[in-house]
Amino acid sequence: MASTMLKHVSILSLTIIPLFLILHSCSAFSTDIEEGEEYLVDTRSLGFSVRAQSRCDAITNNICNGISVNNGTGLLQCCKKHCRNILGDRNNCGTCQKKCGFGELCCHGKCINVAYNVDHCGKCNVKCSSGLKCEYGTCGYA
């Protein structure tokens, strides 16, 4: 009786745990936006901020469409009901749902291969000194 009960518990746990991981994997492994990141809205009046991934709706709750943030370094758009910085989000680069390819980062709204770009070497806005090539994300690699 005890061995039958142990088998049932083992089988049940082996089916529930993978199902749980599959259902929750979408949000658990997002690396595009840091937890708790806030965008300071560029205004002439009193400043206010919008949290990354704030919920939005293009019709009823449009809190982020076309808003310039962080002294012009970011531009928020409502993509799939969440505020996204389309100037730096690899999954929404330049516009909603435009994904950058493998090895590319979203720099100023354009997908850039940072492994070989002298203006964005290794990451956005890292410029190599004159005469140095960017190879494998490092200036002057040799």
Residue-wise pLDDT for 17-59, tens only, equals 443 333 333 332 233 444 445 665 655 544 566 766 678 876 7
Report which of 125, 39, 120, 34 is spatially closest to residue 77, judged by C-alpha positions.
Answer: 39
Task: Please state, in angstroms and rounded to a whole number, the distance separating the CA atoms of residues 118 and 127.
Answer: 6
Q: Which residue, among 128, 138, 86, has the nearest Cα to 111 in the 3D structure?
A: 86
Q: Give the phi and the psi of residue 41 in degrees, each rounded to 5.
A: -75, 135
Residues 57 and 138: their CA atoms lie apart, in Å, by 41
- The CA R_g of the chain, rounded to the nearest whole Å, is 22
pTM, entire model: 0.62
2 pLDDT above the threshold of 60: no
Q: Report helix, strand or coil for 29.
A: coil
